[in-house]
Amino acid sequence: MRSRTALLALCLAAGCTDRQARNPLDPGATGVDPAVVVGPLEAVAGDGQVQLRWNYQAFEDIAGYRLYRRTGKEEQLPYRELEPADTALVDEAVENGLTYQYQLALLIRGEGERRLTPLRLATPGPQAAWAADPGSGLVWRIAPDNRAPFFAHGRFPGLNGIGVDRRDGSCWVSDASYRGAIRIGADGKLSQHPGRIGEPGPLAVDPQSGEGWLVDRAEQTVLWFALPAGEDSLRFEVVDARFDGLRVLEALDGSCWIGDGERLLRYWRQGNRRREWEVRGTTALAPTREGGAWVLVEQGQGLVYLEPGGGIRELALPFARAQALEADLEGGGCWVGGAAGVVLLDAGGGERVRAEGLGECRGLALDVRRRLLWAATPGHLMVLETSGRLLTRLGGFDFLGGVEMDLGNPR
């Protein structure tokens, strides 16, 4: 996940000779093979584009590059001629959903063309995940094909949480060191929105209603703000309620769910309506379309379902202790993440799917379109089929705190 060691730094560390500096595929060069560990082609998918990167500038014999591209199994054909000083290219002549195979060839003076292996694959598309890594203070946007990060932004020294506005693909960030909210656009552009906030805490975004919610830990209050389409300034307004030990914040379908040490409140800003349940030690919750919510209580040692009418239904927890919940808004069940892995429960609490051996699950996000589940553990971000089969494991994180899905514009 982190950027590769620069070519020049590797040459210095390895004690490059003049022979090594001539070209990276010189069979007479000694030491490491730079084509493998330093400057190989990278292909990172985005929405309607593929970002290509490489770096062989330290080698004096390179006269240019030739980029090859294909889809399917046809012959790899020359696609673009590039200059010796080039190190990147954004390929926008792509179609979302198609997988492209790229290969870079070095044009070496006196030796001709030398193609690099292996080929690089990228599948552009509109969907992507955002991951918060409080350990490093970075917020990552993951490429839609799940093969690599699209970019990282930060550092946020007091990273508390993130929320995705699927209308424009942006990610909102709460950082305890910044009195306000921070927006990262889908293109990576960052904008700050200050407000009268003592200490920002958990954050939630509801794209359906165009509302954002933010905890002020210093005042033990919850504030809401209208999500801007552009760079308009924000106005934070306090919810008419006071809390004790605010811990959990989620938003869905025009309402906000707020959990503290002794109760859980569902609040509608329109009409200033609310509904309360008495539950202790809330650590995670997942609202449902029916107006209820799955909730981890007693510091993650219990699981309950809050019924829309106000009742509380206790359920068997599939682990001794759990940390993450994600409601299946279409199937009516709930994914539960614990130290042993993840489990899908049906609407009645019965176990449907179990996937173990993943590590301690700290965050979950469901890609409802492709029926994929994202699971965040301290050092890895994993993608699973909803059958429980592991598809992808991305590593290199310091200590992940959670993951949110950008499912594309809801039109």
Q: How far apart are CA 98 and CA 112, in angstroms?
A: 32
Among the listed residues 212, 105, 120, the one whose alpha carbon sits nearest the alpha carbon of residue 168 = 212
Asked if pLDDT for residue 188 goes beyond 90, the answer is no
Q: What superfamily does domain 7-122 belong to in CATH?
A: Immunoglobulins (2.60.40.10)
Amino acid at 382: M
User: What tens digit of pLDDT does each residue of 327-375 get?
Assistant: 998 889 999 999 989 999 999 999 999 999 999 999 999 988 888 999 9
399 versus 270: which is more confidently predicted? 399
Flag whether pLDDT at 37 surpasses 50.
Answer: no
Residue type at 321 in one-letter notation: R
CATH C-level class of 128-406: mainly beta
**What is the identity of the amino acid at 293?**
A
- Label residues 261-271 b or e (16+ Cβ within 10 Å = b): eeebbbbebee
What's the whole-number average pLDDT of the chain?
A: 86
Model pLDDT, residue 21:
53
CA dist 308 and 387 (Å) reads 29
Render pLDDT for 77-108 as a digit per residue (tens, 0 to 9): 899 999 999 999 999 999 999 999 999 999 99
Domain residue limits, the chain: 7-122, 128-406
Backbone phi and psi for residue 322, each to the nearest 5 degrees, phi listed first: -125, 160
- Tens digit of each residue's pLDDT (9 = 90 or more) over 161-185: 999 998 888 999 999 999 999 999 8
Burial of residue 162 (CB within 10 Å: 0-12, 13-18, 19+) is buried
Q: If you ran DSSP here, which 8-state letter would residue 12 be given?
A: H
Quick check: 18 pLDDT over 50? no
Tell me the pTM: 0.82
Cα–Cα distances in angstroms (integers) from residue 282 to residues 228, 300, 315, in the given order:
31, 7, 15
Taking CA atoms, 6 is separated from 52, 110, 195, 202, 260, in Å, by 16, 26, 40, 37, 48
